[in-house]
Amino acid sequence: MEARLDLFGNPLAGKFLRQLNAAGVTLGDSALPLATQELVKLRASQINGCGACTDMHTKEAAKAGESAVRLHLVAAWREATVFTDAERAALELTEEGTRIADAAGGVSDAVWARAAEHYDEDQLAALVGLIAVINAYNRINVLVRQPAGEYEPGMFG
């Protein structure tokens, strides 16, 4: 499989992706726990059917010490007992923030309130930004049919 557009070879795409990556670095440096960040990125990528991002974030989470059991259960987090209440709130916010078009009211007040019980304002800002950034990456990769499976942890810096 070959991508429709070489995102790394096209100067405009490269410039855009560097800006998006800079936003990701800012969020990655936040006080939001790294494990939560990877779970959020993985869940949004699963929902959006982004193989490249699912590949990347599964491998990055595993490299950071995430267990195989938790990674396998992200798609079924509601029924799983391996996630903390804070992680569950972040995953719920991720789902509603990713599926905005599926709900007339967007993210519900109840979902936001559950997240706010576990995260301070800076962490909530990081969650909002992270959900937005991973959704942007997912859409880019799905649009160009970016192949999945060859990612090696850390290969993009």
Q: How far is CA 54 from CA 8, 15, 26, 47, in A?
A: 19, 23, 21, 10
The answer to whether position 5 is within a domain reads: no
The answer to whether position 29 is within a domain reads: yes
The answer to whether position 150 is within a domain reads: no
Mean pLDDT in residue range 81-103: 95
CB 70 within 8 A of CB 64: no
Q: CA-to-CA distance for 112 and 92, rounded, in angstroms?
A: 9
User: Tens digits of per-residue pLDDT, 125-148?
Assistant: 999 999 999 999 999 999 999 999
Length of the chain: 157
Indicate whether this model's pTM tops 0.85.
yes
In this prediction, residue 102 has a pLDDT band, given cuts at 50, 70 and 90, of confident
Q: CA-to-CA distance for 22 and 65, rounded, in angstroms?
A: 24
The answer to whether position 67 is within a domain reads: yes
Q: Is the pLDDT at 106 greater than 90, yes or no?
A: no
How many domains, the chain? 1
Q: CA-to-CA distance for 36 and 44, rounded, in angstroms?
A: 12
The boundaries of the domain holding residue 17 are 11-144
Q: Is the pLDDT at 55 greater than 80, yes or no?
A: yes
What is the structure's pLDDT at 22? 95
The answer to whether position 108 is within a domain reads: yes
Count of beta carbons in the 10 Å neighbourhood of residue 140:
19
> Percent of the chain, pLDDT > 90?
89
The answer to whether position 110 is within a domain reads: yes
What is the structure's pLDDT at 47? 97
What is the structure's pLDDT at 8? 87
CATH number of the domain that residue 35 is part of: 1.20.1290.10
